[in-house]
Amino acid sequence: MNFISSRLIALSLLLAGAVPAWAAPPTIDTTARNAFIVDFDTGAVLLDKGADQRMPPASMSKMMAEYVVFDFLKSGKATLDDMLPVSETAWKTGGSKMFVPLGQKVRLEDLLRGMIIQSGNDACVVLAEGLAGSEAAFVELMNQKARDLGMTGSHFANVNGLPDPDEYMTARDLATLARHLIADFPEYYHYDSEKDFTYNGIKQGNRNPLLYEDIGADGLKTGHTDEAGYCLTASVIRAGRRIIVVLAGMNTMKERGSEGDKLIEWAYRVFNDYHLVKAGDVLDQAPVWMGEVGQVPVTVRQDVTVTLPRASRDAMQVKAVYDGPAKAPVAQGQTVGSLVISAPDVPTVQVPLVASQPVAPLSAFGRMAAAAGYLVFGKRN
């Protein structure tokens, strides 16, 4: 039997007001072959068009190389001032280039900027050979990190995203990777927002078109090959709320920018984050069996924020649900129930409710008296 707190139902009704009919989930058409939008903080999926379809990532795979380099830096295995040698293999690498000089050494930070801002394929090879000994060894590190991050739809065959049948990613994995780049390496993520970089007298601009607009974009990477089409993984933050947008398979550079603008505006206009509960706030009193007191105040371990369509906000319901009275002794922080949050067009969210203070058990005599009272009156302590 589930025990539902009338006090939390009252809170739910206060939040909800009149409950309208539930509408169809909001969506939007896009010319992108694959599109995926996710809220950075809550992980709520705002748009899913072929998010799990394998696709050639083109230069967006450089985000995985970036992650591995950042990991070298954060772990102390490399520094921004390290000088890495340019091999003939790196120098000859085709496609977009940083134009590294053959036979010379290049500072690691310059190579980072060359890879991220200029999308230099040659910079990627120099980094791979200098940090891991060979491109193949570095690619294995990329694949291992992808597995560690739960990117089950991705595999890397080279360090820079040049066409290869064994090089593929999914839009969902790209969003996962973007979220980790931002969350795991805040001290290095700023490189993704830089608009241009000059190396060896050659100035090149960042290929991310959104960085040049006043829309809150601060990363991450574009890509293009004949098979992949024009692609984009973008991060946008407004008023403290960040979303990640992944688009692939567009026909032109202009379309890539316009579709990115359209979907970003849609995501912010249609959805919003709602901060419901702060960690430590007492939300309800949970029933306790055989305790020195019959109830214990409950709270949540972390702040509770949900992402909802704005049109669904008035229909949100919040309930405290218990499987039954918690049996004493109850430890502080012990899970005693769930806070259940539901609203139209989004999956139901369940957050553990925990005891905010301990409850000691009754003495032996007290337990006997409580058991007798239950047998006679059908009431629990």
Our answer to whether residue 62 is catalytic in this structure is yes
Name the phi and psi angles at 199, rounded to 5: -135, 135
Give the amino acid at 138: F
Token representation of residue 7: 């006090």
Which residue of the set 5, 12, 49, 59 is catalytic? 59
Our answer to whether residue 203 is catalytic in this structure is no
Q: From residue 272, give the alpha-carbon distance in Å to each of 37, 110, 231, 314.
A: 13, 38, 26, 13
Token representation of residue 289: 């069996």
Residue 230 contacts residue 222 (beta carbons within 8 Å): yes
Report the interhelical angle of 121-132 vs 135-148 (nearest 10°).
90
Which residue of the set 5, 49, 62, 154 is catalytic? 62
In degrees to the nearest 10, what's the CA dihedral of 236, 253, 223, 86? -110
Which residue of the set 5, 87, 96, 119 is catalytic? 119
Residue 57 contacts residue 161 (beta carbons within 8 Å): yes
Token representation of residue 296: 């214990």
Our answer to whether residue 119 is catalytic in this structure is yes
Burial of 332 per CB tally in 10 Å (0-12, 13-18, 19+): exposed
Cα separation, 205 vs 33, in Å, equals 26
Cα separation, 237 vs 243, in Å, equals 6
The total of other beta-carbon atoms located within 10 Å of residue 198's CB is 12
Token representation of residue 228: 């992949």
Interstrand relation of 105-107 and 196-199 (parallel, antiparallel or unpaired): unpaired
Kindly list the catalytic residues.
Answer: 59, 62, 119
